[in-house]
Chain A
Amino acid sequence: MQNNQILINIFRFVILVLTQALLLNHIDFLGYINPYLYILFILIYPITGNKSLLILLSFLLGLSVDIFSNSGGIHAAASVFIAYFRPLALKYSFGISYEYNTLKVSSAEFTQRLLYVSSLVLIHHFILFLLEIFNVNHILLILKSTLFSGIFSTILILSAITIFSKNNK
């Protein structure tokens, strides 16, 4: 990563944590639905960037959100999980050769982007709610929260990618 990119990523990290803690955690749409925008950081981390660094940063990202929402380590666990499995999702949604043809998430086809974002969002939210509720008896509640929050987050993340990408037409 160049200096410029490092700065952008640090800036993105701080802004996303603050937005999540101060704004998005308090939306409570229909009583319990909150979007989790902060995983945008993991989704648009440079594809050629260092993978170990991404896993470490995801842990710190999740932990910062946890500190603000008093939730132990649930965000950290879910973030580390999707950071580790991100290459798999990339391969699955953009084809095997994604690493060689300098792909940008913001410039990919919409269906591919939707598949990539929604799959990681759903996995993240499922782990998140599983750990938060921590009771297999409430599996329906877990799935319901995953689905509704997942839809909300996916829409928000896709719009954020579209709005903040430099090459929109």
Chain B
Amino acid sequence: MQQILFFFVRNKNFLLFVVLFSISIFLTIQSHTFHKNKFVNSSNFISGSIYSIKNNITGYFNLRTENNLLVEENGRLRKKLEGYKKIIFIESIDTNLLSFKYRFTSAKIINNSFSSTKNKLTINKGKKDSLDTDMGVITSKGIVGIIDRVSNNYATVQSVLNTNSQVNAKLKKSKHFGSLVWNTKDPNIVQLIDIPRLAPVKIGDTIVTGGKSTIFPEGILIGTVIDFIQTKDENSLILNVQLFNDMTNIEHVYIIKNLDAAEILTIEKELENAE
């Protein structure tokens, strides 16, 4: 017994090292799976509020460009509104045509990263603003990512610039769809894979979200094709897509809540269970 005790005392540093190192590795592996990093993320109270304070200070530096963006978007929305007005005057409104399926919440990014291989962002809204995991995050120009974890006041977003990220996307013109992934090379260029070889792709084509999931509605802008290559087995194409968003300086975002998501997921689950 004494021998064992002596062994522990003599090697206490080594044992401590092994235990702490294993905990860290465990946390690392857990963080590689979406939604699993329960303990270590910046949506907690302390780091969230520190990032908010920092953002309150640095937010002033690019007010002008942000204002321009908002004015631009307002203009675009106003134009659309004029279009709707005409319709409303001419005929009665068909509420099925107006989409009430999605609700948009605005938020501000308080921490942004784009230089590692698994980038995440932190935003200043959380459960209190009825945000939840698996909601899409966009800007007025295009997509940003998907909410990963929420706390009461903050949430972390898995950016499209994350090797774990996979977003359903399609060619706007020909409706061929594939998955949007990132090869970590350039923070403004992502890859669209699994596009069939025969799809008519041209440089400059627009890529939009596919709407085949409950996260993003169909037709949210993503980017334009800058070049494409065939995979080695020649069955599909890999498209390099230049994002409309400059991921390095986004500030204001919208979170999309799909009001039918729960219903769609339940019915899909029922189907899975039946099989």
Task: Judge: A and B partners, yes or no.
Answer: yes
A→B interface (CB under 8 Å): 18, 21-22, 25-26, 28, 31-34, 51-52, 55-56, 59, 62-63, 66-74, 76-77, 80-81, 83-84, 131-134, 141
Q: B120 on the interface (CB 8 Å rule)?
A: yes
Contact B47 A68 (CB under 8 A): yes
When distances are taken between beta carbons in the complex, the residues of chain B under 8 Å from A76 are: 20, 23-24, 27
Minimum CB–CB distance from A70 to chain B (whole Å) comes to 4
The answer to whether A59 touches B44, judged by C-beta atoms less than 8 angstroms apart, is: no
Contact A73 B118 (CB under 8 A): no
Chain A residues lying within 8 Å of B13, measured Cβ to Cβ, are 51-52, 55, 84
Are B16's CB and A71's CB within 8 A?
no
Which bracket fits the contact residues of B? 35 or more
CA distance A105 to B50 in the complex (A): 32
The tally of CB-CB contacts under 8 A between chains A and B is 110
| Residues of B bordering A, CB below 8 Å | 12-14, 16-17, 20-21, 23-32, 37, 40-42, 44, 46-47, 50-51, 54, 111, 113-118, 120, 122, 156, 184, 186-187, 248
Q: Is the CB of A69 within 8 A of B24?
A: no
Output the least CB separation between A120 and chain B (Å): 15
Q: Is the CB of A74 within 8 A of B156?
A: no
Docked pose: A117 CA to B42 CA in angstroms: 30
> Which partner residue on chain B sits nearest A30 by CB separation?
B115
Majority-rule SS of A interface residues: helix
**Contact yes or no, B115 A34, CB < 8 A:** yes
Q: Is the CB of A72 within 8 A of B27?
A: yes
A55-B20, A56-B20 known; A131 vs B25 contact (CB < 8 Å):
yes
Q: List 26 A-B contacts (CB under 8 A).
A: A31-B115, A52-B12, A55-B17, A56-B16, A62-B24, A67-B41, A67-B44, A68-B42, A68-B50, A68-B111, A69-B42, A69-B113, A70-B37, A70-B113, A70-B122, A71-B116, A72-B29, A72-B37, A73-B25, A73-B31, A74-B24, A77-B21, A80-B20, A84-B13, A131-B28, A132-B116
In Å, the complex CA distance between A83 and B28 comes to 19
Give the complex CA separation of A71 and B156 in angstroms. 12
User: Are B115 and A32 in contact (CB-based, < 8 A)?
Assistant: yes
- How far apart sit A159 and B17, CA to CA, in the bound complex (Å)? 29
